Amino acid sequence: MSVKRMKYCVNGEWKESKTDKYMPVTDSSTGELIAEVPCCTPEEVEEAIASAHEAFKSWSLVALSKRTQMMFKWRDILIEHMDELTKLCSQELGKNLNEAKGDILKAIEPTELACSLPYIVQGSASLQVTTGFDCATYRMPLGVVGGIVPFNFPAMIPWGWMVPLAIATGNTVVLKANSQTPLTSMRILELFYEEGGFPKGVVNLVTCSRVEAEIVMTDPRVKAICFVGTTDVGKHIYSVSAAHGKRVQAQCEAKNHALLLEDADLESATNAIINSTYGCAGMRCMALPVVVVQESIADKFVKLLKEKAEKLVVGCSYDPKTNLGPVVSAKHKESIERWIQKGVDEGAELILDGRGYKVPGFENGFFVGPTIFDKVKPGMSVGDREIFGPVTSVKRVKDFDEGLAVMNANPYANGSVIFTQNGYYARQFELLTDGGMVGINVGIPVPSAYFPFSGNKDSFFGDQHVLGLDGVRFFTRAKTVSKHWYDEHSSGKKVDTWEGTVDR
């Protein structure tokens, strides 16, 4: 079977790369090679930047009402192609069909936020801020925005977190699609031009290595960088890009913790933990891989968690019966299994082992079964580092205070959750947790697009978070205008060298 070689997109046109290096894209459920994408050359990356830079000159001058009308149309196009995009996302990534559909829906939600920009970016004005002087602040587009995309949300992150607010506010975009899962993003870009009717060059797309991506971080025509990925890479991107005068959003790793108190509804809490931990095979920064449980209910909880985890249907991602699909690649599967072995070596108690999982008929798929560690102690890397797989670590504590301290000791602070019926503890947790996104009896505390995705500590580096009003501010710069008009009698007034506008 011939494997399709994909192209890169510049100025609305798909072009053959001159590279001699192509990167594989696999069906995660079967292990089969389904496409190859180019490792674009430095010249091709620069071509994409030049295209976005040129397109900005005219796109930034398009009326805001016209841009938002196009976003309304774009929203409907995504909805019309929901089933096609869902299956493509499921195949290349490994999410089950419901999770893949959620990925597309999470691209649509920020598009709806972008449709409201005429209201959001009204700015502010004051008549007669001082005698005869008026002031107004406007939000202006930045220019070219670079988007560096991870593998785990090929629709939501580039086409939800990056593109909608960026282009609706008048910017243009260069996307570095992830080479492991580029097909969903590429298909969406085809629709963007073919059916959306957007001007050429507003969004450009390349696939390349970190070496070529460095060009986007240093080119003076690029004014902002949006990144999602590991903390080490995020720190590098933040430092290099900021040193070159760019704004940065670097959404990085997480090790989200849940605090499970003895008064919680144990059945509901365990269901929420199962969903958040094993959903998307744990390959999301808002997974819930650590449960800090009060000792008085720990044995009961671990037993219930294991029972529910063992009932999950592990299988082909595009089989409607599947609960837990494969992980993205053979390499990622090997990484997760090494982490599991490390947990064993560190002395954590392995309650459920997902290594070596085989699905009949899909023996070459990249499957890892649900895995549970109990009695994970402080300092064990399996409970402190991001594994990005279907692995749960249980840490036992005496009470609320010890549990909160264990959670806040972690260097990451993307999200944090508490399960309790006690209003006092819930409020104290909300106030004192380091987590930027907080759940009270909510397993996945991801806010809607109207609020910022607000990770803290080593989970985020940058100026403003993605989405919400933070996102609007990130993609725009403030311009404050002071105005004064002279009347016909003022021309003979003595010149005042005072440089302010304050009444004196």
Which active-site residues does the annotation give?
285
- Percent helix, strand and coil across the chain, each to the nearest 5: 40, 25, 40
Rounded CA-CA distance 449/467 in Å is 6
Please, are residues 40 and 9 in contact by the beta-carbon 8 Å criterion? no
Distance, CA of 68 to CA of 170 (rounded, Å): 10
Place of tokens 């990085």: 252
* CA-CA-CA-CA torsion sign (380, 260, 461, 283): positive
Cα angle for residues 306, 310, 311 (degrees, 5° grid) = 120
Could you tell me whether strands 203-206 and 172-176 are parallel, antiparallel, or unpaired per DSSP bridges?
Answer: parallel
Best CA proximity match to 141, nearest among 210, 59, 28: 59
Residue 340 · residue 371 · CB < 8 Å: yes
- Give Cβ neighbours of residue 203 (< 8 Å, ≥ 6 apart): 9, 52, 163, 167, 172, 173, 175, 189, 192
- DSSP-derived 3-state class of residue 212: helix
